């Protein structure tokens, strides 16, 4: 396989950047089939807002072959090759996706994620298309994430990913912490720090009846630190009768059963570990809960934090997620790793009055409205593209160039 080593912008690309005509943008991602993952929401949402700005936007992913219009952008799914070879199938080879990307001749290829073949295809074709390559690691360069399947990632990096990373024109970090992870990995390219956005529904959170529930929602994976949350709960459950801990999400590697066994071994009566919920049911549960908890070991953004704040629910987040502003904005707590700090925080959060928690939730919702609207996020990302291809001379304030 031949990797691109330098960009050769086409005449069309230069014309687009200088005249302000619509950009041709293709987002590539291994999969957005799993509803519980943050990119399954954030990538289509970004594409939809960019399409609403009259850019020509597509999303290419692996899945059951299909092509359809979705919220103004074209979503094309391509089948994975080597269906009869489990190891190769897991790498998500897709010759059809690679060929389609070459034929699309985009101005911008915005890749999301690492360690699978769709995450290197942009580097393979950028010279032929004249495209600029943007890469969003999506949390996959954090130290905690790199420790999972470390041998496989090292091998894939040596074979494919490292050379692809050297072809990236602009990295997209969704938080300050992810910016530092990119630099710690040894990558010196320009980085646009643009967070994910969030849809804030036009309802009144103060009118939503609350229940004594602490909810944690997302993938049930060891990386999420949910065992620490259960151990922390064991320190407070007896002192807060009527309160319940609810953990919801798709289980990976049987981890949900491990958490259920842990709760049983600790003789906890008010802990439930259930399957994932989506859509309106998910929003309803977030709005009803008194508190949301994210005890993660590492997170590049943490969409469930933004979703909870948008629903008017205060958040407890570990320092594995980049949400230190929870305390500045007075809408939550940002705590050290471990069961003991979590238990201390739970005790404090559950002891304040319901009215205080409602006020915190309202402040969080206002914060999401002000700083995380998708229109604002899409505008910043598109300005980043235009800077990259030469359409504006000054460096946008959210882009950091290595010095």
How many C-beta atoms surround the C-beta of residue 336 within 10 A? 12
pLDDT of residue 205: 66
Q: State the total domains in the chain.
A: 2
> Is there a single domain that holds both residue 114 and residue 219?
no
> Is there a single domain that holds both residue 52 and residue 189?
yes
* Contacts for 280 with CB less than 8 Å, ≥ 6 apart: none
> Is there a single domain that holds both residue 249 and residue 315?
yes
**4 falls within a domain:** no
What pLDDT, in 10s, does the model give residues 293-333?
Answer: 999 998 878 889 999 999 999 999 999 999 999 999 999 99
pLDDT of residue 326: 97
pLDDT of residue 86: 85
**241 falls within a domain:** yes
The reported pTM is 0.78
> Is there a single domain that holds both residue 172 and residue 280?
no
CA atoms 347, 348, 350, 353: torsion sign: positive
What pLDDT, in 10s, does the model give residues 86-139?
Answer: 888 889 999 999 999 999 999 999 999 999 999 999 999 997 888 999 999 999
Residue 37 has pLDDT above 90, yes or no: no
Residue 46 has pLDDT above 70, yes or no: yes
pLDDT of residue 4: 44
Alpha helices, DSSP H, located in 31-186:
38-52, 86-90, 95-104, 121-129, 143-147, 150-156, 162-165, 176-184
* Contacts for 56 with CB less than 8 Å, ≥ 6 apart: 22, 23, 24, 25
Asked whether the beta carbons of 123 and 167 are under 8 A apart, the reply is yes
> Is there a single domain that holds both residue 268 and residue 360?
yes
Q: What percent of the chain has pLDDT over 70?
A: 92
What pLDDT, in 10s, does the model give residues 191-243?
Answer: 999 999 988 877 666 667 899 999 999 989 999 999 999 999 999 999 999 99
| DSSP state string for 225-243 | -HHHHHHHHHHHGGGSTT-
Rounded mean pLDDT, 245-257: 95
pLDDT of residue 35: 65
Q: Mean pLDDT, the chain, as a whole number?
A: 91
Q: At what angle do helices 303-310 and 354-371 cross, to 10 degrees?
A: 110
Residue 169 has pLDDT above 70, yes or no: yes
Rounded mean pLDDT, 270-280: 93
Residue 3 has pLDDT above 60, yes or no: no
> Is there a single domain that holds both residue 179 and residue 315?
no
Q: What is the CATH number of the domain that holds 346?
A: 3.40.50.2000
SS3 70: strand
> Is there a single domain that holds both residue 394 and residue 328?
no
Could you tell me the pLDDT band of residue 391, with boundaries at 50, 70 and 90? low
pLDDT of residue 254: 94
Q: Which domain holds residue 209?
A: 205-371
What pLDDT, in 10s, does the model give residues 122-131?
Answer: 999 997 888 9
């Amino acid at each position: 396989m031949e990797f691109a080593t330098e960009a050769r912008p086409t005449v069309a690309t230069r014309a687009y950047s200088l005249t302000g005509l619509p950009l041709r943008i293709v987002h590539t991602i291994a999969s957005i089939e799993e509803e519980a993952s943050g990119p399954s929401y954030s990538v289509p949402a970004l594409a939809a807002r960019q399409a609403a700005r009259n850019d020509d936007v597509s999303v290419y992913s692996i899945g059951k072959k299909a092509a359809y219009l979705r919220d103004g952008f074209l979503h094309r799914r391509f089948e994975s090759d080597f269906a009869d070879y489990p190891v190769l199938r897991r790498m998500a080879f897709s010759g059809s996706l690679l060929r389609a990307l070459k034929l699309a001749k985009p101005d911008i290829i915005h890749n999301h994620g690492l360690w699978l073949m769709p995450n290197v295809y942009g580097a393979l074709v950028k010279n032929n298309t004249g495209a600029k390559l943007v890469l969003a690691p999506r949390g996959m360069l954090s130290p905690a994430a790199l420790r999972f399947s470390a041998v496989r990632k090292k091998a894939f990096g040596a074979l494919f990913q490292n050379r692809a990373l050297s072809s990236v024109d602009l990295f997209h970090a969704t938080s300050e912490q992810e910016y530092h992870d990119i630099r710690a990995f040894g990558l010196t390219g320009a980085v646009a720090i643009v967070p994910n956005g969030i849809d804030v529904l036009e309802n009144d959170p103060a009118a939503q009846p609350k229940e004594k529930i602490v909810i944690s929602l997302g993938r049930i994976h060891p990386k999420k630190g949910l065992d620490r949350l259960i151990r922390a709960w064991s320190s407070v459950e007896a002192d807060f009768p009527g309160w319940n801990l609810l953990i919801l999400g798709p289980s990976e590697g049987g981890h949900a059963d491990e958490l259920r066994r842990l709760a049983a071994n600790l003789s906890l009566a008010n802990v439930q570990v259930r399957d994932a919920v989506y859509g309106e049911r998910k929003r309803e549960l977030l709005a009803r809960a008194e508190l949301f908890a994210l005890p993660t070991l590492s997170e590049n953004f943490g969409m469930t934090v933004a979703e909870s704040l948008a629903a008017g629910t205060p958040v407890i987040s570990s320092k594995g997620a980049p949400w230190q502003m929870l305390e500045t904005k007075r809408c939550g707590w940002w705590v050290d790793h471990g069961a003991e700090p979590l238990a201390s925080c739970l005790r404090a959060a559950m002891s304040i009055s319901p009215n205080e928690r409602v006020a915190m939730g309202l402040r969080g919702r206002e914060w999401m409205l002000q700083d995380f609207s998708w229109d604002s996020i899409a505008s910043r990302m598109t300005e980043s593209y235009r800077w990259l291809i030469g359409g504006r001379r000054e460096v946008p304030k959210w882009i950091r160039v290595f010095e």
